[in-house]
Amino acid sequence: MNQINKTNQTNQLNEIFYREEEDSMERRGVMRLIGAAVLWLAMVSPALSDDTFKVAVMNQQTVVEQSKAGKRALEELKAYSMSRQRIINADDLELKELQQATQDEKLSDSVKQEKQSQFQAKLDAYQRRLSDFNREIQQKQRDMVAEYSKKVQAAAQAVVEKNEYVAVIDKGNETVMMRIVLYHQPALDVTDQVVKEFDRQNK
């Protein structure tokens, strides 16, 4: 029997923040070009102006993974998924028992046919429930993407304004081949600062 896909916390984060980007080669190319253009401007602007052009980098996934609010959200999503998984597991066990009953050679043809009809009806209901649960979980993941992307953006903006950066670039994630920044000086990474600001804004 099929079961709801169970993933660990890290895989959930990867899916939440990078799954859609992973499926889009064009978007990855555009994001790399944008990142390269910003970094190029950061390098050439001192020669063109007396003003310092400061660009920071961060890891959006790490912000959610390490922040208190992000951890709470992931635990809630995990608990919701597990509650649905327990229901599916119970249905799965019931179907296996019913399937075994239909194979009992002692049953008359009429009784066996009745049990087979019951099994098919249960199987149809099981498949509908499985599909519904998967849609529910995927919708909750999409809702979390929308909500926490805005929250991370707000925290990042506060850090950028405080430190007088002109831009902050998400470094991306190697796990899903979505690495935008190939190299940066460690001092440019403001991820830890964004985590602290994120927690401050989302107590």
**How long a stretch of residues is the chain?**
203
HSE at residue 160, side-chain half, CA atoms within 13 A, is 18
pLDDT digits (tens, 9 = 90+) for 121-147: 999 999 999 999 999 999 999 999 889
Q: Considering the entire predicted model, what is its pTM?
A: 0.64
At 55, give phi and psi (nearest 5°).
-120, 135
Q: What is the DSSP letter of 56?
A: E
Q: How many CB atoms lie within 10 A of CB 46?
A: 11
Partnered with residue 35 across adjacent β-strands are: none
Output the pLDDT for position 67: 92
Residue type present at position 10: T
135, 178 contact by CB (below 8 A): no
Output the pLDDT for position 4: 46
pLDDT digits (tens, 9 = 90+) for 12-49: 444 444 444 444 444 444 455 445 555 555 554 444 44
- Output the average pLDDT for the chain: 77
pLDDT band at 187 (very low <50, low <70, confident <90, very high): confident
Q: What residue ranges do the domains of the chain occupy?
A: 9-201
Query: Would you say the C-alpha torsion 195, 61, 168, 44 has a positive or negative sign?
Result: positive
24, 68 contact by CB (below 8 A): no
Between 119 and 13, residue with greater pLDDT: 119
pLDDT digits (tens, 9 = 90+) for 166-183: 888 888 766 554 566 666
pLDDT digits (tens, 9 = 90+) for 76-109: 999 999 999 999 999 999 999 888 888 888 878 8
Output the pLDDT for position 182: 62
Q: Class of 9-201 per CATH? A: alpha beta
Output the pLDDT for position 196: 94
